[in-house]
Amino acid sequence: MNSNTHTSITVLLLIVIAFSFSCKPEYSPPAKENAKPLNILWLVAEDLSPYIPSFGDSTVQTPNLSRLAAEGIRYTNVYSISGVCSPSRAAIATGMYPSGVGAHHMRTLFQQPAAKEMGVINYECVLPPEVKMVSQIMRENGYYCTNNSKKDYQFHPGRMAWDESSIYAHWRNRPEEKPFYSVFNFNVTHESNMWNIAYKPYDLKTFPPERNNPDWRKELKGKEKPFFVEEDLKVNIPPYLPETDLVKKDVRRMYSNIIEMDKHVGRILKQLEDDGLLDHTIIVWYTDHGGPLPRQKRLLYDSGLNVPMIIRYPDQRKAGEIDDQLISFIDFAPTLLSMASVKPPEYIQGKAFAGAYKVSSKRKYIHAAADRFDEKYDRIRAVRDQRFKYLKNFNTNQGYYLPLAYREKMATMQELLRLREEGKLNEIQKLWFRDSKPEEELFDTQNDPHELNNLAADPAYVEKLKELKNECTRWMKEIDDKGHIPEVELINQFWPNKIQPVTATPVVKKKKGKIEISCSTPGATVGYKFPSEEVKWIGWNIYNQAIELSEDESIKVFAHRIGYAPSDTLEIQY
């Protein structure tokens, strides 16, 4: 080997070594045998599009979210599977498409009066027997799981889903040194807070409220929230809404709520820092679907689906970076497990985009669905790639606008209806109020971000239309989309004759100082508690092996399958 060759090899090795140090891989938990598992904290805002400085909107300042963004990664192409919360939460909690498991209608647990008049009862979706809530899987793998406090999953989660699920739930209540997965939901940005401005529990300066403060409800009674923005704050009004004073006031209220939500984020971050846990916790902030305004929430335009997301890792890996890969809400459950070094179950339809089980390939498409909203139906399916959005409309004989009593409490919605009656809406604003809609729509979201110009009939886009249409058909077939089944019939499939099935009573066997418990209902989980654990807000232990029980001890056991009523509770004494 001559000296020139030796020099070239040396230079090449130095370049390879330098490159390997400059490119940090995606974060995954330490692989050491006795490495301490990382905590995982989810901070969830509601009804919010990317209206914050970290995602390009500087109308108001959000110092706590801006800090998270500076220390973490911003994800710009994250999409809910629905423009409303309940189906979205079903997807997040299970990693399954709601329209494939029958959880696609907006709110199954609490029907509006008009929906009840149509024969739609309060019901729970019965999930396939192998499906568990991801929080239960985290518990089974040693995590203390808390939810503060929304539980709108289209089914009751059961007493094994969380260690704690209440307005008081907090990682601080866990056994010492146990890793936690904690969720805090910030309802302040919800659509209802555009018109209902009374203070609520999450507005407390001690968020979340403390158990030892029994008067916290009295502290809020009769109080209204102030505006946290100037009365003349300049706001951008999307072209599909009129620029009237009432609409501008609503938009200012939306930004005011964002400021308040950011303060709550700051309180939780401070608690994490005060506990010395900031650098041992993965923090994920996101919103449950798009914005609260008319033609945003409930629809499958990006304004209803696209959400901002920030992930901060303990070592601030990739701090300040932007990730534009396509991410769906069904990817959240497997990614959560992957971050905890837990292999996602085979049944999960989403794919981990980070952590120990991160998939090698990125998404080509995201999918979404719309069905019943409160008392009205409108079946739509959507497929989106990095640039184009395809919509398949099944109810072409009706327009997009649905007269929903809940939404019409908002001043902006009332303004739209008033101006429509007076004939004062412009051509863009009229689009939402069409009497019918085409079977197919195609939008170039790069050049038409508000999705106003339908390209489905344009010959220049015939191949893209065909591609996305075929993908929509393939996806619906793959997940066994149940949107074609009338809801009353679907309810009867879950609950024959509209009667909820009941989980079988557990069978208990005693063997040499131990008890073995089983349940004949497929998919049921058995839970148990000792008398010392009888605290109302604390979840039940998950049974997975025989339990030792001395002669003077007793234990309570029961079983539950999601969608079924829980079994009778047995008290066992050896």
Residues annotated catalytic, as ranges: 85
* DSSP string for 472-526: HHHHHHHTT--TTS-HHHHHHHHSGGG---BPPPPEEEEETTEEEEE-SSTT-EE
∠ Cα 161 478 491 (to 5°): 55
- Could you tell me the CA-to-CA distances from 218 to 163, 405, 456 in Å, in that order? 28, 30, 56
| Strand ranges of the sheet holding 547-548, from the earlier edge strand across to the other edge | 507-511, 514-518, 547-548
Quote the crossing angle between the two packed helices 85-94 and 332-339, to the nearest 10°.
40
Bridge partner list, 183: 42, 147
Phi-psi region of 223 (alpha: psi -120 to 50; beta: other; left: phi over 0): beta
Distance CA 324, CA 566 (A): 43
Calpha distance 294→247 (Å, rounded): 10
Task: Respond yes or no on whether the N-terminal peptide bond of residue 208 is cis (omega within 30° of 0).
Answer: yes
What sign for the dihedral angle of Cα 422, 428, 432, 436? Answer: positive
Q: Which pair of tokens denotes residue 234?
A: 């300049």
276 Cβ contact partners less than 8 Å away, ≥ 6 residues apart = none
DSSP code string of 310-368? EEE-TT-TTTT-EE---EEGGGHHHHHHHHTT-PPPTT--S--SSSTT--SSPPS-EEE
Strand 144-148 relative to strand 164-165, pairing: parallel
Cα 92 to chain centroid, rounded: 5
Q: What are phi and psi of 438, to 5 degrees?
A: -70, 160
Q: Give the residue among 255, 295, 302 at the shortest CA–CA distance from 416.
A: 295
Q: What does the alpha-carbon distance between residue 278 and residue 476 come to, in Å, rounded to a whole number?
A: 42
Give whole-number Cα distances, 378 to 375, 395, 397, 450, 497, in Å: 10, 6, 10, 20, 25
